[in-house]
């Protein structure tokens, strides 16, 4: 599809933003293509996604500055909404999405990475919210997600100064979970996705929903969110087979087997 490539490898889907000539900057077409790609993921067979950028230099170098440069107030709001709608779709996508950040993740690039469940990056990666240097605020959720992911003080420092940080600092402040040499990044992301994909898919989905929904409410309500999603699992084949397998193992270690979870 246009600016986005999609490949399924067993239970993993790999989404690659493919506009390397503009360092994978997000124009309206890229946002539309990404949205359509997420809509097309076969949720019956795919259990985890990897999101990365084409080329060796950039994950996403931000929203497209050329496209934004002539926007009116109303058009700016509409462009912000287009990005925000997509990033919410990613954040709430039923299955985990891993951002494999292979270079620049600036402005909208850092923001799309932050809408993913997990971020890992190459040692060449660079993160930042340069918007105030361009006369705008972060407009694809940066003020909100960065403050929640790192700390309000660190988010404010990064956003107010528009300073870019390298992979090691992103790791230190908890923006990414791990740093790899560039050539090892995608294999590591696929391995992580495969590890997730071998677990019970309904349980994994419910964990994502429990963490996301629970973070939006106070602890008393959050616990209820968890209880309901926990309860739901007891209607699944995966729970019955997963627990039965554990009991079989206790009974006779020779009966150990790999549980083929069924997503049902």
166 binds ligand CO8, rule: CB under 6 A = no
Q: What is the DSSP secondary-structure string of 190-232? A: HHHHHHHHTS-HHHHHHHHHHHHHHTTS-HHHHHHHHHHHHHH
For 204, the token pair is 């994994």
113 binds ligand CO8, rule: CB under 6 A = no
Contact region with ligand CO8 (CB under 6 A), list: 39-47, 100-108, 175-183, 254-262:
100-108
Whether 183 sits among the annotated catalytic residues: the reply is: no
Contact region with ligand CO8 (CB under 6 A), list: 105-113, 179-187, 222-230, 254-262:
105-113
Give the one residue of 4, 12, 14, 23 binding ligand CO8; rule: CB under 6 A: 23
130 binds ligand CO8, rule: CB under 6 A = yes
Angle at 9 between CA 110 and CA 175, to 5 degrees: 20
What backbone torsions phi and psi does residue 19 show, to the nearest 5 degrees?
-140, 55
Give the one residue of 6, 38, 127, 140 binding ligand CO8; rule: CB under 6 A: 140
Whether 7 sits among the annotated catalytic residues: the reply is: no
Using an 8 Å Cβ cutoff, are 108 and 58 in contact? Answer: no
Contact region with ligand CO8 (CB under 6 A), list: 133-141, 147-155, 177-185, 228-236:
133-141
Strands (E) located in the chain:
4-9, 12-17, 48-53, 58-60, 97-101, 104-106, 118-122, 126-128, 165-166, 178-180
174 binds ligand CO8, rule: CB under 6 A = no
Shortest Cβ distance from residue 165 to ligand CO8 (Å)?
A: 13
104 binds ligand CO8, rule: CB under 6 A = yes
Instruction: Single out the residue of 50, 115, 109 nearest to residue 88, CA to CA.
Output: 115
In the complex, the residues that contact ligand CO8 under the rule CB under 6 A are 22-23, 25, 61-66, 68, 76, 79-80, 83, 104, 106-108, 130-131, 134, 138-140
Residues forming the active site: 111, 131
């Amino acid at each position: 599809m246009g600016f986005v490539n999609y490949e399924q490898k067993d239970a993993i889907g790999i989404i690659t933003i493919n506009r390397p000539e503009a360092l994978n900057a997000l124009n309206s077409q890229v946002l539309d293509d990404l949205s359509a790609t997420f809509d097309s993921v076969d949720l019956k067979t795919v259990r985890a996604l990897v999101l990365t950028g084409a080329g060796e230099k950039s994950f996403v170098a931000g929203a497209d500055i050329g496209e934004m440069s002539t926007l009116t107030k109303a058009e700016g709001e509409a462009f912000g909404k287009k990005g925000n709608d997509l990033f919410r779709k990613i954040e709430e996508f039923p299955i985990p999405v891993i951002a494999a950040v292979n270079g620049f993740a600036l402005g909208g690039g850092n923001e799309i990475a932050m809408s993913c469940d997990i971020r890992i990056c190459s040692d060449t990666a660079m993160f930042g919210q340069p918007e105030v240097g361009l006369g705008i605020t972060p407009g694809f959720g940066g003020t909100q997600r960065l403050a929640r992911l790192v700390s309000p003080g660190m988010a404010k420092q990064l956003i107010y100064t528009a300073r870019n940080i390298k992979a090691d600092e992103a790791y230190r402040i908890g923006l990414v979970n791990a740093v790899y040499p560039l050539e090892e990044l995608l294999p590591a992301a696929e391995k992580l996705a495969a590890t997730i994909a071998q677990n019970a898919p309904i349980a994994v989905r419910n964990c994502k929903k429990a963490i996301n929904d629970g973070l939006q409410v106070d602890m008393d309500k959050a616990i209820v969110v968890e209880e309901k999603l926990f309860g739901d699992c007891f209607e699944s084949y995966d729970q019955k087979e997963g627990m039965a397998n554990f009991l079989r193992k206790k009974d006779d270690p020779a009966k150990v087997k790999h549980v083929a979870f069924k997503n049902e």
